[in-house]
Amino acid sequence: MKQALFALSIFCYPLFVYFGLKILEPQYIAVLFALLFLVRHLVAPKDSKHIPHLNLVVFFVTVLFAVSAVTNSSIVLKFYPVLMSGSFLLIFGYSLWRPPSVVQVIASLHETLDEKGIIYTRNVTKIWCVFFLLNMMTATWTIYQANPKIWLIYNGFLSYVVMGLLMAGEWLVRKKIKNNNQ
């Protein structure tokens, strides 16, 4: 239940920021989310704390929220989606340099991969790297638009739609490849 609430709050982050800035100073929103991330990290299952990438992401997010709180900056708050895409780009990219790839690790939880499966998951990891790079660039662009609704619509809706389409497309391709190999 706690994990679902945390995931929902992160998923709805753009909504909280957009509407929160109408009634609160940015520093209060930053402190709220910094505390949320830190508490979530401290109560996370012990095995997830041993993932060095997770610690790095939590560190960067905490620094972002601290800078926003100290500067009372709404612009810094809006960099959260950029930071998350950048973090995932680094994690996925690093896994290409130091295998196994992130997608291979996830796939290996559900099935045993042969050499073709490892190559496939490596290619999917590359596709995710391109997505994270493009998402990071687009999220950055939205921050500097005159209409803050552009930031909200892209980061709170469109980026999730594109991510979902990428996941669904990959699932369909994977099923087709599996069916062709049987």
Taking CA 10 as the corner, what is the angle to CA 7 and CA 11, rounded to the nearest 5 degrees? 80
Which one-letter DSSP state was computed for residue 146?
S
The domain total for the chain is 1
Three-state DSSP state, 101: coil
Domain limits for position 108: 2-181
Question: What pLDDT does 48 receive?
Answer: 52
Question: What pLDDT does 50 receive?
Answer: 43
pLDDT in tens, the chain (182 residues): 667 777 788 889 999 999 999 999 999 999 999 998 888 878 876 655 445 577 788 889 999 999 999 999 999 999 999 999 999 999 999 999 999 999 999 898 888 999 999 999 999 999 999 999 999 999 999 999 999 999 999 999 999 999 999 999 999 998 898 888 77
Alpha helices in the chain, H assignment, sequence order: 2-11, 13-20, 26-42, 52-71, 74-78, 80-97, 102-108, 115-143, 148-153, 159-181
d(CA 10, CA 33): 9
Tokens of 123: 């290619």
Which residues, 6+ apart, have CB-to-CB distance to 28 below 8 Å? 20
Length of the chain measured in residues: 182
Residues 170, 162: contact at Cβ < 8 Å? Answer: no
The gap between the terminal CA atoms of the chain, to the nearest Å, is 39
Residues 87, 60: contact at Cβ < 8 Å? Answer: yes
